[in-house]
Amino acid sequence: MDIKRIDKYIFSIKGKNVDAIVFTDQETINDPEFKEALQQIVNVTHMPGIVAALAMPDIHWGYGFPIGGVGVFDAKDGVISPGGIGFDINCGVRLMLTSLTFEEIKPQLRRLVEAIYDAVPVGVGASGAVKVSAKTLRKVCIEGAHWAVENGYGFKEDLERIEDTGKLSPANPDHVSSKAFERGLDELSTLGAGNHFIEIQKVERIFDPKVAEAFGIFEGQVAISVHCGSRGFGHQIATDYIQIMRDKLAHHNKDLPDKQLINAPFEHPIGQQYFSAMNCAANYAFANRQMIGHAVRMALLKIFPTAQVWLLYDVAHNIAKVEVYNNRKLIVHRKGATRSLGPKNPLLPSLYSDVGQPVLIPGSMGSASYVLVGTKKAEEMSYGSTAHGAGRTLGRRAALRSLSYEQVLNELKQKGIEVMSKGKKTLVEEAPETYKDVDRVVEIVDQVGLSRKVARLVPLGVVKG
């Protein structure tokens, strides 16, 4: 690989149609562990209509495209690729703020974790939180979080605090297979497994008092974050369209450096159908986080009836969207990357217009999480993108080999974190030592200016699959 250092935390790697740009430190660039992930972002530069191939400091190996990657294509000559989005379409995170302080909830912490665990089905194959018909699921596909609010899962004021108000279009459920519908029916309002979690957190440190105030964040405040996606519904849609593209677009895809980069021209009917189906899954995920967030809010209010609980923001970090930069219509794939819009961006709701978009970066289980704010610089340098999380360094299998359930549980207990987890395996796979240090990731995006630190939150309690 032909790598050039452009700035302290910016590297360029010689690509085919464009050069790949990687925002990270020298250590990661040199680390053999990240070599495959760097090769993956270089592979993306071979794709038709590529405008930019970027990687964030939380880059790691993924299906075709690296996680922590941004693939930008011309909407006219370019492509849309399921691997650039990920199997968990619209995996994302929402952060709810409360009027409570750590001191107030401390005596009830265990009870609160238990109440949340009881309110939200978790784990592999979790189901049965709500019963919806196929007809209703079609509405969820089209209306997303708006459907949830209209049906009693939350309040109207939640919607402007969700990226794209929790409703993307075009989203035609006719483009979704019946198999995806079957899987999606009884998984609404369930958390799932893997790195998904619900976490009770405490605001430990404020970096930017002015923006923190605009966001309603104060030191010692209790916050709750929900990290999940579109469950089996999105997974099936990704699987279906990868198969369709293999069957129907073999000739178009014959020259790819990696078969997993399979794609469809964005303007081709298959590209348009995948885009529409992907938006259905994205809307399902927005509804899912809205419903889970509301269930968590209700569980908290049962224990603390006079508390206030409100949504700060909800972001998607596995998605492709049509966005315009320099009067050019582009298809921006963010796979393990968060949108980062600066002040006055017209896509922002008025309540955040003066300061910029809240950017939510969850850490791994047992480590810190961050609230940052979007920047104009990100709009100029990274097509409005920043990092999404800590970034895995140790594979799931390796984690299971080297750690035990008791070990991980003890480690969390020693930090004073209350944990409830359905599966022992999940807890080990998600152990803190399997992830890169989130503080380092956040430091780099802050230094480069892709988003600015506002607050650091630490975990108090965690519910996992």
When asked if residue 123 is in the footprint of DNA (CB under 7 A), the reply is: yes
Closer residue to DNA in complex, CB, 231/436: 231
Question: Residue 80 pairs with which residues in a beta bridge?
Answer: 264
**How far from the centroid of its chain's Cα atoms is residue 428's Cα?**
21
DSSP for 99-143 reads EEEHHHHGGGHHHHHHHHHHHS--STT---SS---HHHHHHHHHH
Q: Per the annotation, does 465 bind a ligand?
A: no
Sign of CA dihedral 416, 422, 427, 430: negative
When asked if residue 132 is in the footprint of DNA (CB under 7 A), the reply is: no
- Name 210's Cβ contacts closer than 8 Å, sequence gap at least 6: 355
Peptide bond preceding 57 in cis form (omega within 30 of 0) = no
Number of other CB atoms surrounding residue 432 within 10 Å: 18
Residue 388 annotated as catalytic:
yes
Query: Which one from 175, 294, 333, 388 is the annotated catalytic residue?
Result: 388
When asked if residue 192 is in the footprint of DNA (CB under 7 A), the reply is: yes
Between the alpha carbon of residue 399 and those of residues 198, 290, 390, 426, the distances in Å are: 21, 32, 16, 10
Give the interface segment with DNA, choosing from 53-61, 152-160, 187-195, 214-222 (CB under 7 A): 187-195
Give the one residue of 44, 55, 59, 91 binding DNA; rule: CB under 7 A: 91
Between the alpha carbon of residue 165 and those of residues 149, 151, 387, the distances in Å are: 11, 16, 21
- Least Å distance, CB 194 to DNA, is 2
Q: Per the annotation, does 422 bind a ligand?
A: no
Give the one residue of 4, 5, 14, 179 binding DNA; rule: CB under 7 A: 179
Q: Per the annotation, does 367 bind a ligand?
A: no
When asked if residue 87 is in the footprint of DNA (CB under 7 A), the reply is: yes
Q: Per the annotation, does 148 bind a ligand?
A: no
When asked if residue 62 is in the footprint of DNA (CB under 7 A), the reply is: no
When asked if residue 134 is in the footprint of DNA (CB under 7 A), the reply is: no
Report the number of secondary-structure helices (H) and strands (E) in the chain.
15, 19
Q: Are 194 and 396 in contact (CB under 8 A)?
A: no
Please identify which residue in the block is written with the tokens 């605090």: 161
Instruction: Give, as ranges, the residues between 219 and 258 that touch DNA (CB under 7 A).
Output: 228-229, 231-232, 235-236, 239
Closer residue to DNA in complex, CB, 236/385: 236
Q: Which residues are annotated as a binding site for GMP?
A: 195-199, 317-318, 362-365, 369, 388-391, 464
Catalytic residues: 388
The binding site comprises: 88, 195-199, 227, 317-318, 362-365, 369, 388-391, 464
Question: Which positions lie near DNA, rule CB under 7 A?
Answer: 87-88, 91, 123-125, 179, 183, 187, 192-196, 228-229, 231-232, 235-236, 239, 423, 425, 430, 465
